[in-house]
Amino acid sequence: MNVEGCTALVTGANRGLGRALAGMLVQRGARKVYAAARDPTAITDSRLTPVRLDVTSKEDISAAAAACSDVNVLINNAGVMLGSPALAGDAEAALCTEFAVNVKGLLSVTTAFVPILQSNGGGAIANVLSVVSWYVYPFNATYCASKHAALALTDGLRIQLRDKGTTVTGVYAGFIDTDMAAHVSSPKASPEEVAARLLDGIQCGADHVCADEFSKSIFRTMFAAPESIEREMQAEWRNSLTASGSAP
């Protein structure tokens, strides 16, 4: 997927990584960039096209899909982190909020835009995940649970959409120097570093992008050949489509 000349939509584009992504898409020659946010007046870069989009709102998602029918790159960046251990008094409420945005919101937006990408000849989807998609940081367990679930959806979407000309990229990073990690004293990647590696991944059709040095280190430690299982699942999916007579 060529980033130059594409038409992209970035969720959560009003600050942090989303803002960096939207700006870098313009720098790399995107034809048009829809910058989606719950409050579109927060989008002040005149090179961008603001779009109202709360990823938990069916009405906002439908309106955004109707207004952005030329999109061929979708970047699901919007997210929330509430920092709750599993047995905290507010853990259930935190879990519900984080799943509503990080999991259901991601799937709802993607479901609305997949037909648009298909009508535009395919395209690319990138989902901003986290290194805690792979393991649990106990002080933030509900957020980790949401990112584990978002990773499962990302892998499932990739398997379903690969034969339809749409790539699905999972993007992983540790702490990023944004408002979400403002309280963290550990080393952080810059939003620009993560954005650059994400767009490189879209450009080359990567399944997985480790967008900082920390995620690369964790990946090497935890995984040897994750693609082998996915290839097996891809074959199972194709076989089931063939058996049902609905293969592309």
E-strand stretches of the chain: 7-10, 32-37, 49-52, 73-76, 123-128, 166-172, 208-210
> Which region, left, alpha or beta, applies to residue 106 given φ > 0 means left and ψ of -120 to 50 means alpha?
alpha
> Looking at 9-13, 52-56, 132-136, which range is the least confident one?
132-136
Dist. CA 174–CA 95, nearest whole Å: 20
Residue 76 has pLDDT above 90, yes or no: yes
Dist. CA 216–CA 20, nearest whole Å: 21
Residue 181 has pLDDT above 80, yes or no: no
May I ask the CATH architecture of the domain 7-244?
3-Layer(aba) Sandwich (3.40)
**Tokens at 123, concatenated:** 């395209």
Pairing of strands 73-76, 208-210: unpaired
The pLDDT score that the predictor gives to residue 221 is 80
Helix (H) or strand (E) holding 221: helix 213-222
Average per-residue pLDDT in the chain?
92
CB atoms within 10 A of CB 125: 25
Residue 80 has pLDDT above 90, yes or no: yes
- Per-residue pLDDT tens over the stretch 31-58: 999 999 999 999 999 999 999 999 999 9
- Per-residue pLDDT tens over the stretch 203-245: 999 999 999 998 998 888 877 666 665 677 688 778 888 888 7
- Per-residue pLDDT tens over the stretch 185-203: 666 789 999 999 999 999 9
Between the alpha carbon of residue 133 and those of residues 110, 142, 184, 221, the distances in Å are 19, 11, 19, 14
CA-based torsion, 77, 81, 86, 87: positive or negative? negative
The pLDDT score that the predictor gives to residue 25 is 98
- Per-residue pLDDT tens over the stretch 171-180: 999 878 766 6
Letter for the amino acid at 150?
A: A
Domain boundaries of the chain, sorted by first residue: 7-244
Residue 182 has pLDDT above 60, yes or no: no
